[in-house]
Amino acid sequence: MPTLKDVAEKAGVTVTTVSRVINNRGYLSEETKYKVKQAMNELHYRPNELARSLSKQVTNTIGIITPHITHPYFAQLISQLENAASKRGFKILLCNSKEDHSREAEYIDLCKSNRAVGIIFCGMILASEQYTQQGIPFVAIECNSPLFASTILCDNYEGGRLAAEHLIACGCKNLVHFSGIIDQEMPGDSRSQAFKDVCQKHGVDFEIVWTRDNTYYSMDYRDSIRQTLLGLPNTDGIFASSDLIAAQVIQVCAEMGKQIPQHIKLVGFDDVALSSLTTPQISTIHQPTKEMAEMAVDSLIRSSSRETVPSKLVLPVSLVKRQSTGW
Protein backbone atom coordinates (compact mmCIF):
# COMPACT_ATOMS: atom_id res chain seq x y z
CA MET A 1 0.00 0.00 0.00
CA PRO A 2 1.55 3.34 -1.05
CA THR A 3 2.45 5.87 1.65
CA LEU A 4 2.70 9.65 1.83
CA LYS A 5 6.45 9.30 1.43
CA ASP A 6 5.99 7.29 -1.78
CA VAL A 7 3.80 10.04 -3.25
CA ALA A 8 6.33 12.70 -2.26
CA GLU A 9 9.21 10.83 -3.92
CA LYS A 10 7.27 10.23 -7.14
CA ALA A 11 6.16 13.88 -7.34
CA GLY A 12 9.60 15.18 -6.41
CA VAL A 13 8.37 17.20 -3.44
CA THR A 14 8.47 16.98 0.32
CA VAL A 15 6.05 14.98 2.49
CA THR A 16 4.90 18.30 3.96
CA THR A 17 3.97 19.58 0.50
CA VAL A 18 1.94 16.44 -0.22
CA SER A 19 0.11 16.90 3.09
CA ARG A 20 -0.63 20.53 2.25
CA VAL A 21 -2.08 19.53 -1.15
CA ILE A 22 -4.29 16.86 0.42
CA ASN A 23 -5.57 19.22 3.11
CA ASN A 24 -5.69 22.29 0.82
CA ARG A 25 -3.58 24.41 3.16
CA GLY A 26 -1.30 27.30 2.32
CA TYR A 27 -0.28 28.62 -1.08
CA LEU A 28 0.86 26.09 -3.65
CA SER A 29 1.40 26.55 -7.38
CA GLU A 30 -0.97 24.83 -9.77
CA GLU A 31 2.03 22.93 -11.18
CA THR A 32 2.86 21.51 -7.74
CA LYS A 33 -0.75 20.53 -7.08
CA TYR A 34 -0.92 18.81 -10.45
CA LYS A 35 2.30 16.82 -9.86
CA VAL A 36 1.12 15.63 -6.43
CA LYS A 37 -2.35 14.65 -7.63
CA GLN A 38 -0.85 12.89 -10.67
CA ALA A 39 1.46 10.91 -8.40
CA MET A 40 -1.45 9.99 -6.12
CA ASN A 41 -3.47 8.75 -9.10
CA GLU A 42 -0.60 6.71 -10.55
CA LEU A 43 0.13 5.09 -7.18
CA HIS A 44 -3.57 4.69 -6.36
CA TYR A 45 -2.95 6.50 -3.08
CA ARG A 46 -5.99 7.35 -0.96
CA PRO A 47 -5.70 9.66 2.07
CA ASN A 48 -6.63 8.16 5.43
CA GLU A 49 -9.97 9.95 5.99
CA LEU A 50 -10.26 8.77 9.59
CA ALA A 51 -6.85 10.16 10.53
CA ARG A 52 -7.60 13.43 8.77
CA SER A 53 -10.94 13.81 10.54
CA LEU A 54 -9.44 13.11 13.94
CA SER A 55 -6.77 15.75 13.39
CA LYS A 56 -9.21 18.35 12.05
CA GLN A 57 -12.16 17.41 14.32
CA VAL A 58 -14.38 17.32 11.20
CA THR A 59 -14.66 15.21 8.07
CA ASN A 60 -15.24 16.35 4.50
CA THR A 61 -18.92 15.48 4.97
CA ILE A 62 -21.99 17.71 4.74
CA GLY A 63 -25.21 16.56 6.37
CA ILE A 64 -28.44 17.07 4.41
CA ILE A 65 -31.80 16.68 6.12
CA THR A 66 -34.83 16.65 3.85
CA PRO A 67 -38.53 15.91 4.48
CA HIS A 68 -38.86 13.86 1.26
CA ILE A 69 -36.55 12.01 -1.10
CA THR A 70 -39.17 10.90 -3.63
CA HIS A 71 -40.81 14.29 -4.27
CA PRO A 72 -39.50 15.54 -7.65
CA TYR A 73 -38.43 18.93 -6.24
CA PHE A 74 -36.46 17.48 -3.33
CA ALA A 75 -34.97 14.74 -5.52
CA GLN A 76 -33.68 17.40 -7.93
CA LEU A 77 -32.41 19.59 -5.09
CA ILE A 78 -30.58 16.68 -3.43
CA SER A 79 -28.88 15.85 -6.73
CA GLN A 80 -27.77 19.48 -7.13
CA LEU A 81 -26.50 19.59 -3.54
CA GLU A 82 -24.46 16.43 -4.11
CA ASN A 83 -22.97 17.94 -7.28
CA ALA A 84 -22.13 21.22 -5.52
CA ALA A 85 -20.57 19.41 -2.56
CA SER A 86 -18.53 17.11 -4.80
CA LYS A 87 -17.07 20.08 -6.69
CA ARG A 88 -15.77 21.40 -3.36
CA GLY A 89 -14.32 18.03 -2.33
CA PHE A 90 -17.12 17.11 0.07
CA LYS A 91 -19.42 14.11 0.39
CA ILE A 92 -23.01 14.20 1.62
CA LEU A 93 -24.72 12.31 4.41
CA LEU A 94 -28.38 12.19 3.30
CA CYS A 95 -31.11 11.97 5.96
CA ASN A 96 -34.84 11.67 5.24
CA SER A 97 -36.80 13.04 8.19
CA LYS A 98 -40.27 12.41 6.70
CA GLU A 99 -41.38 15.56 8.58
CA ASP A 100 -40.81 13.74 11.89
CA HIS A 101 -39.15 15.98 14.51
CA SER A 102 -37.85 12.99 16.50
CA ARG A 103 -36.12 11.71 13.36
CA GLU A 104 -34.79 15.21 12.77
CA ALA A 105 -33.18 15.23 16.23
CA GLU A 106 -31.65 11.78 15.67
CA TYR A 107 -30.22 12.84 12.32
CA ILE A 108 -28.69 16.01 13.77
CA ASP A 109 -26.95 13.83 16.36
CA LEU A 110 -25.89 11.41 13.61
CA CYS A 111 -24.32 14.22 11.57
CA LYS A 112 -22.51 15.48 14.65
CA SER A 113 -21.22 12.03 15.61
CA ASN A 114 -19.93 11.61 12.04
CA ARG A 115 -18.07 14.93 12.37
CA ALA A 116 -19.95 16.65 9.54
CA VAL A 117 -18.82 20.23 8.88
CA GLY A 118 -22.46 21.33 9.07
CA ILE A 119 -26.01 20.55 8.02
CA ILE A 120 -28.20 21.83 5.19
CA PHE A 121 -31.94 21.69 5.89
CA CYS A 122 -34.28 21.50 2.91
CA GLY A 123 -37.74 23.05 3.21
CA MET A 124 -38.25 22.45 6.90
CA ILE A 125 -38.04 24.09 10.33
CA LEU A 126 -36.03 22.91 13.32
CA ALA A 127 -38.11 21.40 16.10
CA SER A 128 -36.06 23.12 18.77
CA GLU A 129 -33.63 26.00 19.13
CA GLN A 130 -31.38 23.86 21.32
CA TYR A 131 -29.70 22.32 18.28
CA THR A 132 -28.40 25.66 17.06
CA GLN A 133 -26.34 25.97 20.23
CA GLN A 134 -24.24 22.84 19.65
CA GLY A 135 -21.37 24.31 17.66
CA ILE A 136 -22.30 22.99 14.21
CA PRO A 137 -23.46 25.43 11.50
CA PHE A 138 -26.89 25.08 9.89
CA VAL A 139 -27.96 26.42 6.49
CA ALA A 140 -31.51 26.25 5.15
CA ILE A 141 -33.03 26.14 1.68
CA GLU A 142 -36.60 27.45 1.41
CA CYS A 143 -37.04 27.73 5.15
CA ASN A 144 -37.12 31.26 6.53
CA SER A 145 -35.92 31.07 10.14
CA PRO A 146 -33.51 33.10 12.31
CA LEU A 147 -32.10 29.83 13.71
CA PHE A 148 -29.89 29.26 10.68
CA ALA A 149 -26.53 30.80 9.80
CA SER A 150 -27.89 31.45 6.32
CA THR A 151 -31.17 30.91 4.45
CA ILE A 152 -31.33 30.41 0.68
CA LEU A 153 -34.65 31.26 -0.98
CA CYS A 154 -36.08 31.74 -4.43
CA ASP A 155 -38.24 34.81 -5.06
CA ASN A 156 -41.53 33.10 -4.22
CA TYR A 157 -43.61 36.26 -4.44
CA GLU A 158 -42.33 37.05 -7.91
CA GLY A 159 -43.06 33.47 -8.94
CA GLY A 160 -46.68 33.78 -7.84
CA ARG A 161 -46.98 37.12 -9.61
CA LEU A 162 -45.57 35.77 -12.88
CA ALA A 163 -47.91 32.77 -12.79
CA ALA A 164 -51.05 34.80 -12.16
CA GLU A 165 -50.17 37.48 -14.69
CA HIS A 166 -49.50 34.84 -17.34
CA LEU A 167 -52.83 33.07 -16.76
CA ILE A 168 -54.72 36.37 -16.95
CA ALA A 169 -52.80 37.35 -20.11
CA CYS A 170 -53.96 34.03 -21.59
CA GLY A 171 -57.57 35.17 -21.06
CA CYS A 172 -58.42 33.33 -17.83
CA LYS A 173 -61.22 34.87 -15.72
CA ASN A 174 -61.80 32.23 -13.02
CA LEU A 175 -58.57 31.16 -11.37
CA VAL A 176 -57.70 28.52 -8.77
CA HIS A 177 -54.44 28.20 -6.86
CA PHE A 178 -53.46 24.94 -5.14
CA SER A 179 -51.28 26.30 -2.36
CA GLY A 180 -49.11 25.20 0.58
CA ILE A 181 -49.94 23.35 3.78
CA ILE A 182 -52.74 24.83 5.87
CA ASP A 183 -51.63 26.32 9.22
CA GLN A 184 -47.93 25.77 8.41
CA GLU A 185 -46.11 28.98 7.52
CA MET A 186 -43.40 28.60 4.86
CA PRO A 187 -41.65 30.94 2.39
CA GLY A 188 -43.66 29.39 -0.45
CA ASP A 189 -46.80 30.99 1.00
CA SER A 190 -45.65 34.20 -0.69
CA ARG A 191 -46.70 32.62 -3.98
CA SER A 192 -50.29 32.58 -2.73
CA GLN A 193 -50.13 36.19 -1.58
CA ALA A 194 -48.83 37.32 -4.96
CA PHE A 195 -51.52 35.29 -6.75
CA LYS A 196 -54.18 36.96 -4.60
CA ASP A 197 -52.74 40.46 -5.14
CA VAL A 198 -52.64 40.05 -8.93
CA CYS A 199 -56.16 38.63 -9.14
CA GLN A 200 -57.56 41.49 -7.05
CA LYS A 201 -55.66 44.02 -9.12
CA HIS A 202 -57.20 42.70 -12.36
CA GLY A 203 -60.63 42.06 -10.86
CA VAL A 204 -60.77 38.36 -11.74
CA ASP A 205 -62.47 35.67 -9.64
CA PHE A 206 -60.10 33.41 -7.74
CA GLU A 207 -59.97 30.67 -5.13
CA ILE A 208 -56.99 29.53 -3.02
CA VAL A 209 -57.08 25.87 -2.00
CA TRP A 210 -54.78 25.03 0.91
CA THR A 211 -53.26 21.57 1.30
CA ARG A 212 -53.95 19.34 4.29
CA ASP A 213 -51.08 17.54 6.03
CA ASN A 214 -52.08 14.05 4.94
CA THR A 215 -52.32 15.15 1.30
CA TYR A 216 -48.86 16.72 1.43
CA TYR A 217 -47.29 13.64 3.03
CA SER A 218 -48.92 11.22 0.58
CA MET A 219 -48.18 13.52 -2.40
CA ASP A 220 -51.56 12.51 -3.85
CA TYR A 221 -53.59 15.65 -4.62
CA ARG A 222 -56.06 14.13 -7.07
CA ASP A 223 -59.06 13.94 -4.77
CA SER A 224 -58.56 17.57 -3.68
CA ILE A 225 -58.24 18.65 -7.32
CA ARG A 226 -61.30 16.67 -8.35
CA GLN A 227 -63.49 18.09 -5.56
CA THR A 228 -62.31 21.63 -6.31
CA LEU A 229 -63.13 21.41 -10.02
CA LEU A 230 -66.53 19.86 -9.29
CA GLY A 231 -67.29 22.74 -6.92
CA LEU A 232 -65.88 25.38 -9.26
CA PRO A 233 -66.93 24.21 -12.77
CA ASN A 234 -66.13 27.58 -14.39
CA THR A 235 -62.44 27.34 -13.55
CA ASP A 236 -60.40 28.24 -16.63
CA GLY A 237 -56.96 28.78 -15.09
CA ILE A 238 -54.96 26.91 -12.43
CA PHE A 239 -51.74 27.83 -10.68
CA ALA A 240 -50.27 24.80 -8.88
CA SER A 241 -47.63 25.37 -6.21
CA SER A 242 -45.53 22.51 -7.58
CA ASP A 243 -45.09 20.65 -10.85
CA LEU A 244 -46.11 17.48 -9.01
CA ILE A 245 -49.54 19.00 -8.33
CA ALA A 246 -49.74 20.35 -11.89
CA ALA A 247 -49.11 16.85 -13.31
CA GLN A 248 -51.99 15.52 -11.22
CA VAL A 249 -54.20 18.37 -12.46
CA ILE A 250 -53.59 17.06 -15.98
CA GLN A 251 -54.63 13.56 -14.88
CA VAL A 252 -57.81 14.71 -13.18
CA CYS A 253 -58.80 17.00 -16.03
CA ALA A 254 -58.40 14.11 -18.48
CA GLU A 255 -60.70 11.98 -16.30
CA MET A 256 -63.29 14.77 -16.19
CA GLY A 257 -63.19 15.50 -19.93
CA LYS A 258 -61.55 18.92 -19.46
CA GLN A 259 -58.84 19.62 -21.99
CA ILE A 260 -55.63 21.52 -21.19
CA PRO A 261 -55.06 24.16 -22.46
CA GLN A 262 -58.34 24.42 -24.42
CA HIS A 263 -60.62 24.44 -21.36
CA ILE A 264 -58.16 25.15 -18.53
CA LYS A 265 -54.78 26.87 -18.68
CA LEU A 266 -52.21 25.49 -16.20
CA VAL A 267 -49.02 26.83 -14.59
CA GLY A 268 -46.83 24.85 -12.19
CA PHE A 269 -43.85 25.76 -10.02
CA ASP A 270 -40.24 24.42 -9.72
CA ASP A 271 -39.43 23.40 -13.34
CA VAL A 272 -38.38 19.85 -12.44
CA ALA A 273 -37.90 17.21 -15.15
CA LEU A 274 -41.51 16.08 -14.72
CA SER A 275 -42.80 19.37 -16.17
CA SER A 276 -41.48 18.52 -19.65
CA LEU A 277 -42.46 14.83 -19.55
CA THR A 278 -46.25 15.26 -19.30
CA THR A 279 -48.72 15.67 -22.15
CA PRO A 280 -49.19 18.57 -22.50
CA GLN A 281 -45.88 19.84 -21.16
CA ILE A 282 -46.33 22.15 -18.18
CA SER A 283 -45.77 25.91 -18.23
CA THR A 284 -44.03 26.57 -14.93
CA ILE A 285 -41.99 28.88 -12.75
CA HIS A 286 -38.31 27.97 -12.94
CA GLN A 287 -36.74 27.71 -9.51
CA PRO A 288 -32.92 27.94 -9.75
CA THR A 289 -32.14 24.82 -7.68
CA LYS A 290 -28.60 24.49 -9.09
CA GLU A 291 -27.62 27.98 -7.98
CA MET A 292 -29.45 27.61 -4.66
CA ALA A 293 -27.59 24.37 -3.93
CA GLU A 294 -24.23 25.92 -4.78
CA MET A 295 -24.93 28.91 -2.52
CA ALA A 296 -26.06 26.65 0.33
CA VAL A 297 -22.90 24.53 0.15
CA ASP A 298 -20.69 27.62 -0.11
CA SER A 299 -22.42 29.32 2.84
CA LEU A 300 -22.08 26.19 4.97
CA ILE A 301 -18.38 25.73 4.23
CA ARG A 302 -17.66 29.40 4.89
CA SER A 303 -19.71 29.33 8.08
CA SER A 304 -17.83 26.24 9.31
CA SER A 305 -14.61 28.26 8.84
CA ARG A 306 -16.16 31.01 10.99
CA GLU A 307 -16.50 33.38 8.04
CA THR A 308 -19.39 35.84 7.98
CA VAL A 309 -22.13 34.78 5.56
CA PRO A 310 -25.32 36.60 4.49
CA SER A 311 -28.26 35.67 6.72
CA LYS A 312 -30.58 35.56 3.70
CA LEU A 313 -30.08 35.15 -0.04
CA VAL A 314 -32.99 35.43 -2.49
CA LEU A 315 -32.54 34.22 -6.05
CA PRO A 316 -34.68 35.27 -9.04
CA VAL A 317 -37.21 32.99 -10.75
CA SER A 318 -38.51 32.99 -14.32
CA LEU A 319 -41.56 31.89 -16.29
CA VAL A 320 -41.13 28.94 -18.66
CA LYS A 321 -43.95 28.85 -21.23
CA ARG A 322 -45.00 25.45 -22.51
CA GLN A 323 -48.06 23.69 -23.93
CA SER A 324 -50.30 23.80 -20.82
CA THR A 325 -50.95 27.50 -21.43
CA GLY A 326 -51.11 27.22 -25.20
CA TRP A 327 -47.49 28.07 -26.07
- Whether 254 and 110 map to the same domain: the answer is no
- Whether 142 and 240 map to the same domain: the answer is no
Structural domain tally of the chain? 3
- Contact predicate 267/239, CB 8 Å: yes
pLDDT for the residue 37: 86
Sign, CA dihedral 90-91-97-101, equals negative
pLDDT for the residue 30: 85
DSSP 102: H
Please give the model's pTM, rounded to 2 decimal places.
0.81
- φ, ψ for residue 312 (rounded to 5)? -150, 135
What stretch of H or E contains 251? helix 243-256
- Whether 180 and 70 map to the same domain: the answer is no
User: Which parts of the chain register pLDDT below 70?
Assistant: 24-26, 48-58, 124-134
**What CATH number is associated with residue 170?**
3.40.50.2300
With b meaning 16 or more CB within 10 Å and e meaning fewer, what string describes 287-300? bbbebbbbbbbbbb
**What CATH number is associated with residue 23?**
1.10.260.40
- Whether 261 and 294 map to the same domain: the answer is no
DSSP 58: S
Residue ranges making up the domain that contains 223? 156-288+319-325
- Whether 144 and 92 map to the same domain: the answer is yes
- Contact predicate 104/65, CB 8 Å: yes
Rounded CA-CA distance 277/247 in Å is: 9
With b meaning 16 or more CB within 10 Å and e meaning fewer, what string describes 241-260? bbbbbbbbbbebbeeeebeb
- Whether 251 and 160 map to the same domain: the answer is yes
- Whether 272 and 181 map to the same domain: the answer is yes
- Whether 65 and 166 map to the same domain: the answer is no
- Whether 237 and 294 map to the same domain: the answer is no
pLDDT for the residue 125: 63
